[in-house]
Structures are given as structure tokens and as C-alpha cells.
Chain A
Amino acid sequence: MPKISKFFILIISEVFFLLFLLIILPSFLIKERPGVYQTSFTETLSLDTKNSFNQEFISDQNNLESISVLLKNPALINKSQVKIELQDQNKNTIRSLNTSGISIGDPSWINFKFPYINSQKGDIFIVKVSTDNPLSDHLYIYGNNENQNINFKTTYKSSSIINSIKENLDYRKETILNSNHFYSIYYLTILIITNILIFFSL
């Protein structure tokens, strides 16, 4: 096979490999993407019968699919029931999860995943976390003591494969823009030099 054809096949394979790894694979596999979140609080607030928490948020995407809250069960001792509810802006419970202290780590994110809701970007929701634990300072939630806001994460479901490809391309663009440009150029230079070397060694 002539040298130029061999090299052409190699370049095509490399481009396909990169496309497959960076675009095709994530677009087809990742259907759940992160939505609005708040993860900066490091304070632990007692979660007990006297202290339940309501966190309001505005959805930044359609099709809400999960919510997570950060809880702490010191030394994994407490076995009380914890209820996580998703409410609409009128405080009607749309989805709820009952979990026990056994599934709470020291600390751990408790993920509440449900069949996605046909919600719209801009919809207002409330996450309510309550417990039957009567003892204070035995079970905690991460939040802010002043305004009683808590750490939470949400995810949403991509509605179609076209949307999924679009979201993936957006993510790719954002990653490239946020990464260090020196290293991006460095990476590309290594790729080009390697290919030039391969061309001459064929």
C-alpha cells in the first residue's frame, strides 16, 4: 500500500476514534446531566423532628430527573427514617422518598432518582427534608445556619438524541474554553508531531 494511503487511513482512524470517544459515546450513553445545584456549605445542621429543611430552587433545564441532598450520620449509628420530598411551588408533594439512617454515610449524598417530570426551565420546586429522629445532633444535613439553605444537586434527562448531542457539544466547548490554553496547544502539538513522525517512519 502506498505511504500516502496508509497515512490517510491512520488519520481517518484517529479522527474517528476521537469523535467516537468525545462525541458519539457520551451523546448516546449520558442521558442524565447535572442541573441547578448548591454544594458550597460546609456547616452541619442538626436534622431532627424539630428541624426539617425546605430548599427552594428554580429549575434551569426541562425534565427534572433527580435530587440529592448531603447528609451526615456520625459513625453510621443513627437508624431513623428520613423523608425527602419534591414539592411544587404550591407545596404539593410530587415525589417522595423514605430512607433510613442505614443508607446514610458519614457523610454521603443521598440520591433520589425518579421517572423524569415533564417540567420546564424556570419552574419552581422545593426540596423538603424531614426525619422521625427525636434526638438533636445525631443526624445532620449540610447547610447554612443563617438562612437555613441546604446543599443539593439536581439532574435532568435529555429529551432526545439531538438534544443529547447538542448538550454534549456545549459541554465540550465549555471545557475547551475553561481549560488552560497553553496545555491545549501543547496537547495538539504533541498529536501533530507524533503524526508527522509516523508519516516519515511509514
Chain B
Amino acid sequence: MQFLSHGVTNIYDFVDKNKSNLPYTNIYVYLPVTYYFFGSVDFVLSPIYPNDLYTWLNDWSVNQNNYSNMMFFMLVLKIPYLIFDLLTGYILYKIYNNKKVLYFWFFNPISIYLIYILGNFDIIPTFLTLLSFYFIKNNKQFWSYLAIGLAIALKMYPVMFLPFLFFYDKKNIFKNIKYAIFSLVPLVLSILPFIKQQSFYDSFIGSGLTQKILEYKIGGLSIFPILFVFILINYFFSKSEHKFEIGILQTFLIFIGLVKFHPQWIMWFFPFILIFFINSKIKNKIYFTIFFGLIFLYIILFNDNYLTWGHLIPIDPNFINLTSPYQLIKLRTSIDPTSIQKNIHNLLLLFGIIGSFFICQK
């Protein structure tokens, strides 16, 4: 993000040519709009940055956790997320006209963990996807497809939500055909200047969500796309008032069980499914608690201390030296923590399928 302020407009070429001089040798793996958006945010927020922020951002040495202004770095860098968090709460309130939904969104540990502790920018495409749902609910097809189009231009995953928008109202299918093109306009316009550059394509090699979605196979057939089609057929014929949310919840339950997901990806679905936490019977609440409990166990068993104690580094950098749950199991028992994690994932798949086909049907 700091490079736009220094006049770098083609980040792919810049990273490709300066790889050996950059402090962190990884490549830039996001779409152009993401770069321009955060570059602009950086420009706007720079007057309130602590003066050692850029030094810290470029410091990949052993001293990177020993900055006394770390708390303030966290505060200023998360200001955009706070704004989109508030906007998401506002749209949720507009959709459901229910204060409980608003309070639940702001004060539940899952949103706080996903937005402020993991601190990835997924809240922004999530807000735009929710905005798109709000518009389609109010028969504003053009704005709906434009909003999801902006989300897609930031991150590709909202493509998964497009069929749900398209078949939301069967009476408006022709209107949808007319406007659906706008969902791709922001993406196409933003990548056009880079389309002929090899460095642009190189940036995305190995970072594909598509590979992960297609990974789980039975007899050579990828399971997720097949189940996704079933979910869409069910969605098409559903007469439920909450059919959109049900479709997203079904996708979420299957996705979590079939894809080796990163915790931040839960954010994509979360605003759409929280209505089921609030307006459901006690047995459903128990089900969701167990499901999210299993997700929590799955996450803490990654061999990555930055997903557990690492979150507490701004409080005290010595937290990173604590033994992670993965290492603890490996050192104290003869069990392979990866196999426990795999079994939890399988359990999530089982719970996901049960939830998807029983709870969602009601």
C-alpha cells in the first residue's frame, strides 16, 4: 500500500523488477483494485501514522515484534476495517430491521476475531456482497450487480454469490440478464491495463481459491461443485422468505467441510448466516455452537503459532515463544496433530452435510 504514495502504479511490474531489493520477497497476490484502494487509504491516513510505521512495515528482521508503538500501528491500520464493520452493521439493520442483529454483529467474538484479530481486508468485499443482497431485496438490480462487481474486483470469491443473486426472484430473471454484466465490469476494467503482462499472471500462480475448492474428490470427481449445484437447485425452487440466507448457509456448511479453508474466509459468509444464530431454536443454537467449536479446534491445530499465541504479540512479543497447541500435542503425545486436524475436518464435513440438508430445510 505504501508504494502508491511513491508513484508506483503498476505494482506487478514493480514487484517483479525489484524482488531482490524488497524487504519481503513474496509477490503481490491481489487484484489491482485492492492495491489502488489500500494505496489511497494509505495516502489519506498517512498524516496520523506514527513516524516509525513504515520502518516497522518494512522490517522483516527478528526485531519486527519489538516496536513500542505496535498498539498504535494496529489502531491506525484497522481504521478502514472499523468503518466497513460499522457500515456492515448498518446494512444488516436495514435488511432485518432488528436491533438484536445489529448488537450480535458488533459484539460477537467471531466478528471481532475475523475483523480485528486476524485483520485481513475480507470485511470490505463482505460488506459489498451484503450491500448487493440489500439492493436485490429492494429490486435495485443495477446497484446490486455493481456492488458485487466491486467486491469481485477486490477479491474473486464473491463470484460464488452471483447465482444466488441471479435466481433471487424468478420473476426478474430477464431483468437480471440485462444487469448481470455489471458484476464483471469493475473487474474487467481494472485488469485490462495489465492483461498482457506476464508479471500479472505470475502473481496469481499458486494462490487460487479454485484449486482448493476442487481439491476434495471422490472417484476423480470434485465434490464441492456438485453439491453447490444441488444447493442452487434447492434455492431455485425454495419459497422461503430467507431463501438467500439458507442458500449461503448451506454453501458455508459444505465449504467448511470440503475446502482447506483459511479462518478469514469465514467472514465471507458470516453476515448472511448470523440471522440463524438469533432466530432459531435451542437445538439449532447448540448445533452452531458445536460447529464453530470444531472450527476453532481446526484453526488452533495449524502448525503456525501466528494463528494462536501470535495474535497476542502487540501485548507482549514473548507470546510468540509459547508452545503452540500443535507443538504441544507433538511433544507430549505420540499422536500426529495433523491427523487430529484432518479428523476434525471430516467431522465438520459430516456436521455440515447434516446441517445443510436437515436444519436448512426447515
Contacts and interface: CB of A to CB of B under 8 A. Distances in A.
B45 interface: no
B178 to A, nearest CB: 44
B69 interface: yes
Given A180-B50, A183-B50, A26 B319 contact: yes
Nearest to B48: A186
Nearest to A153: B62
Nearest to B309: A29
Contacts of B319: 26, 29-30
Interface string A20-51: 01100110011011100001000000000000
Given A39-B63, A171-B316, A180-B50, A29 B72 contact: no
Contact of B322 (A29, A186, A187): A29
Contacts of A32: 318, 321
Contacts, number: 49
B315 A183 contact: no
A174 B51 CA distance: 19
A131 interface: no
B316 A168 contact: yes
B39 to A, nearest CB: 23
Interface in B44-68: 50-51, 61-63, 68
Nearest to B73: A183
Interface in A159-185: 168, 171, 174-175, 178-180, 183
A24 B15 CA distance: 43
A155 B317 CA distance: 13
Which of B50, B62, B318 has the most chain A CB within a 10 Å cutoff? B318
A79 to B, nearest CB: 23
A34 B316 CA distance: 11
B301 to A, nearest CB: 19
B75 A30 contact: no
A26 B71 contact: no
Contacts of A34: 318
B312 interface: yes
Given A109-B62, A183-B50, A26 B315 contact: yes
B69 A183 contact: yes
Contact of A187 (B68, B75, B312): B75
B318 A175 contact: no
A26 B316 contact: yes
A155 B321 contact: yes
Nearest to B316: A26
Contact of A180 (B69, B312, B316, B322): B69
Contacts of A25: 312, 315
A122 B63 CA distance: 25
A74 B239 CA distance: 63
A22 B322 CA distance: 16
B62 A39 contact: yes
Nearest to B72: A183
Contacts of A168: 316
A179 B318 contact: no
A33 B318 contact: yes
A109 B64 CA distance: 14
A189 to B, nearest CB: 12
Contacts of B62: 39, 70, 109, 153
Given A29-B322, A109-B62, A187 B71 contact: yes
Contacts of B322: 29-30
B17 to A, nearest CB: 23
Contacts of A178: 68
A183 B61 CA distance: 25
Interface string B286-325: 0000000000000000000000000010011011011000
B312 A179 contact: no
A183 B77 CA distance: 14
A179 B316 CA distance: 14
B53 to A, nearest CB: 10
Contacts of A21: 315
A109 B321 CA distance: 13
Contacts of B61: 39
Interface in A50-66: none
A30 B50 contact: no
A179 B68 contact: yes
A30 B69 CA distance: 21
A139 B71 CA distance: 38
19 contacts: A22-B315, A25-B312, A25-B315, A26-B318, A30-B319, A32-B318, A39-B63, A155-B321, A168-B316, A175-B68, A179-B68, A179-B71, A180-B69, A183-B69, A183-B71, A183-B72, A183-B75, A186-B72, A187-B72
Interface of A: 21-22, 25-26, 29-30, 32-34, 39, 70, 109, 153, 155, 168, 171, 174-175, 178-180, 183, 186-187
Given A25-B312, A179-B68, A187-B72, 18 more contacts: A22-B315, A25-B315, A26-B312, A26-B315, A26-B318, A29-B319, A30-B316, A30-B318, A30-B319, A32-B321, A34-B318, A39-B62, A168-B316, A175-B68, A178-B68, A179-B69, A179-B72, A183-B69
Please provide the 3 A-B residue pairs with the shortest distance between their CB atoms, ordered closest to farther.
A178-B68, A183-B72, A179-B68
